[in-house]
Amino acid sequence: MTTHTSQTESNSQRIFIEQVRLLYANTKPSSVTIIPCALGIVAALWSEAIHSTLLLWFGWMTVAVMARTMVTQAYFRATTQDSEAPQWANWLLYFTIPVSAGWGSMVLLFLPELLLERQTFVHIINAD
C-alpha cells in the first residue's frame, strides 16, 4: 500500500512540475502579444479617454510584462526548476497578478460611464 501511495505522490509531483513548466513556457508568447494589444487599445481609445490615463495604463502594462518576463527568464536559467516547483509557481502567480490587474482596470479607467452590467459584460469579453 505504501508503494502505491508513494507512486501516486510521485506522479502528482511530476504532473505539477510539468504544469509549472508549461505555464512558464506559455508566458513567452503571451508576453509578446500583450504589449501590441495594449498599444492597440491605447490607439483605439486615444480620442475618447484622457491621454495621461492611457499612457499611465500602458506604462503599467509594459512594466508588469517586463517584470513577468524577467521571472520567466530566471526560471529557464535556474537549475532548481523541479525541486522548487511550488516556489516557481508562486513567483509566476505574483508576477501575473499585476498584468491581470491592468487588464481588469481597463474598463474602470477608460469606460467609467458604463453601467455596472455593461462593465461586467466588457470584462467577460476581455477575459476570453
Domain boundaries, the chain: 2-127
Q: Which three cell numbers stand for residue 68?
A: 513577468
pLDDT bin (cut points 50, 70, 90) of residue 125 is low
Look-up: residue for cell 505574483?
A: 94
How many CA atoms are closer than 13 Å to the CA of 85, on its beta-carbon side?
Answer: 14
Question: Which SS3 state, helix, strand or coil, does residue 115 take?
Answer: coil
pLDDT (tens digit per residue) in 74-114: 999 998 878 899 999 999 999 999 998 998 888 778 777 76
pLDDT at 104: 83
**And the C-alpha cell for 17?**
512540475
Quote the CA–CA distance of 44 and 38 in Å, as a whole number: 10
What is the pTM (predicted TM-score) of this model?
A: 0.79
User: Whose CA is closest to 63, among 23, 99, 32, 87?
Assistant: 99
Q: What share of the chain is helix, strand, coil (3-state, %, to 5)?
A: 85, 0, 15
> Could you say which DSSP state residue 79 is in?
S
